[in-house]
Amino acid sequence: MAALGSALAVFLATVLAVGAAKWAGDVLNPVTLTIPERVPFAGGIPPDYHAWNRFHIRWYTMALLFLAFDMEMVFMYPWAVVFIREGLVSLVEMMMFILILLVGIVYTWRERGFSWA
């Protein structure tokens, strides 16, 4: 627990320190910009539209597959710890689990979910 406390302290300290560094940078060189200085760069011509749009995520099927494998990862973490103790049975069980998920990869591959252009 103390270890996690240290990790949290490191994380927060770094985030705050970096934030402070950027704030100090803005104090050293105050950012007062005219509107033309704030136009997004795309080669010299100002844009006509906001860049934020509903990006067509063609790889959303891959994202679903990622979710499935992420849930598998959740189970593999504790499996790794008890693996030697449980022996061959646990290996075979995990293999069966993975093989079912591999069918998902084969399906996505065949449905061209990995190549979207």
Partner 1 sequence: MARARVFVGLKETLGRLARSGPIPVFAVTAADAINAVRDLGLRREVEIVATPRHASVLLVAGRFGEGPIAGLSQIHDQLPLPRLTVRWNGEVLAEIPQARLVAGDVVELVDRLLALDAEILAGALASESPLLPDVDAVEWRGVGPYGHGGSGMTGGTPFGRPLADRAPDRDGLELDQLPVSVGPWVGALPAGLELHVKLQGDLIQGVEVGPKVAVMAPVDAFVRALDVPTPVKLLEVERARHHLRWLADVLVVHGLSALGLWALRLAHDLSPSDRSEVERLLSAVRKSGVIKLVVGRIRGGVVSPGVVGTGPIGRAAGSGDDARLDDQSYQELQFQPVIGETGDTAARWNQRMAEVVQSLDLAARAEERTAFGSGCVEGPRGLIVSKQPPASASLLEVLPTLLTGLEWGDAVSVVWSLDLDAFATSVVLLPSGTET
Partner 2 sequence: MNALASVVFVALVLLVATYLVAVIDATIMIRVSRGRGYTGVWMDPIARAARLMMQRGSRTERPDLQVWFLAPALLAGLGAVALASIPVAAAVHVADNGAGIVLFGAAMLQVMVAVFLHGWAANSVFPMLGAFRMAAAGMSMSIPFSLALITTALPAESLSVGAIIVSQEGLWNVVRQPLGLPVYLITALAFSFWGPMQLPDAADLAGGTTAEISGVALLVWRVARIGVLVALSAMGAAAFLGGYLGPVLPGWLWMMVKTAGLATVMVWSGHHFARMRIESVVFLGWTLLLPIALVDVFLSGALTL
The DSSP code for 16 is: H
Calpha distance 97→82 (Å, rounded): 17
Tell me the window of 15-23, 43-51, 70-78, 83-91 that interacts with partner 1 (CB under 8 A).
Answer: 43-51
Sequence length of the chain is: 117
Residues in 2-41 that interact with partner 1 by CB under 8 A: 28-29, 34-37, 39, 41
Residue 102 is a binding residue for partner 2 (CB under 8 A): yes
CA separation (Å) from 16 to 9, 10, 20?
10, 10, 6
Give CA angle at 16 (14, 22), nearest 5°: 100
Q: For the purposes of burial, counting CB atoms within 10 Å of the CB of 108, is it exposed (0-12), middle (13-18) or buried (19 or more)?
A: middle
Residues in 52-81 that interact with partner 1 by CB under 8 A: 52-58
110's tokens: 């065949």
Per-residue contact flags (x/-) with partner 2 for residues 25 to 54, judged by CB under 8 A: xx-xxxx-x-x-xxxxxxx---x--xxx--
Least Å from the CB of residue 110 to partner 2 = 11
Residue 61 is a binding residue for partner 2 (CB under 8 A): no
Out of 2, 73, 96, 117, which residue is the one contacting partner 1 (CB under 8 A)? 117
8's tokens: 């949290």
Out of 66, 93, 100, 107, which residue is the one contacting partner 2 (CB under 8 A)? 66
Residue 46 is a binding residue for partner 1 (CB under 8 A): yes
